Amino acid sequence: MKISSIEKIIKLEKSKILKMNQKIFNLQNQRESCKDLIEKLDKDFDYEKQFSNSNFFHESYFIKNRNLKKNFLEKFTEITLQIKILEKEIKKNHIKLKKYKNYLSYQKDKINKYCKNQKVKKIKKIINSIISRENFSTINE
């Protein structure tokens, strides 16, 4: 695999991770909103319960409040589950990213060693040619 291809894959994996992190951030904000609304419903219900004398009002308000709270709790749970799934996906992508980075560094090291060996071979060739010329010239004299 070409180094440029590996670098593109690494870039793609990084962007995926960033997008998922952004999604998690947005979901966490939604979850906090749900939590705040649930707390507000509880406070409102307690307030109404304290200052109202009508049992009918309490019962209807209680049912309405309970249903709203149930909906928000379901949403809260759903969001929490989505966050956990995204976090697992991010971990997988981090592992993939690490593998690609390791592979990239391995390939670069391999290329550097090859280039270094080629330079050494060229230098040896040049030295040998110089030595052979010197030897040839001393033999002729």
- What pLDDT is stored for residue 4 in this prediction? 84
Rounded CA Rg of the chain: 35
Residues 60-85: tens digit of each pLDDT: 767 777 888 888 889 989 999 999 99
Q: Is the domain 3-140 a CATH 3.30.1490 member?
A: no
- What pLDDT is stored for residue 48 in this prediction? 66
Sites in the chain below the pLDDT cut of 70: 46-59, 61, 134-141
Show Cβ contacts of residue 124 under 8 Å, excluding neighbours closer than 6 positions.
none
Q: What residue spans define the domains of the chain?
A: 3-140
- What pLDDT is stored for residue 54 in this prediction? 58
- What pLDDT is stored for residue 24 in this prediction? 93
CB 10 within 8 A of CB 101: yes
Own/partner contacts of 31-37, CB < 8 Å, gap of 24 or more, are 31/76, 31/79, 31/80, 31/83, 34/72, 34/73, 34/75, 34/76, 34/79, 35/76, 37/72
Q: What is the pTM of this model?
A: 0.63
